[in-house]
Amino acid sequence: MTARTPYLHKTQYYETDQMGVVHHSNFIRWFEEARTDLLERAGLGYDEMEKLGIVVPVLSASCEYKSSVRYGETVAVIPAIESYTGLRLTISYRVVDSGSGELRATGETRHAFLDRNFKPSPLQRSHPEVHELMRSIAG
């Protein structure tokens, strides 16, 4: 399992706008899908983290659009962990056409690790086993 394993998404009709182009807001959803897939492949999905009392909110999300995606096209969303400190996590994303490899968008999300009371919770102290897993997928 690598942090750069692509997540494939076939675009749906409801994701398009009047021009037949995927609406820009869907790219942020695709980032979440790819991030969730990445964590599940590592063996620690959001459901498991929540059972452990770990909350992982999004602090920020950004996307730079390079070329349009249309209905029926399949894109590969490639997540990469850029930084992990035990308290914060930054993931970058590349969205490419799964056939041609053409770059469609790039983006980034930043996250924090909190406890059930929404207080900062450095994983190296609160959940050392999760910290080691995150370090292993961060490379």
**How is the beta sheet containing 7-10 ordered, strand by strand?**
7-10, 74-84, 88-97, 103-112, 58-65
Catalytic positions, written as ranges? 17
H or E stretch at 30: helix 25-41
Asked whether the CA dihedral 21, 26, 28, 29 is positive or negative, the reply is negative
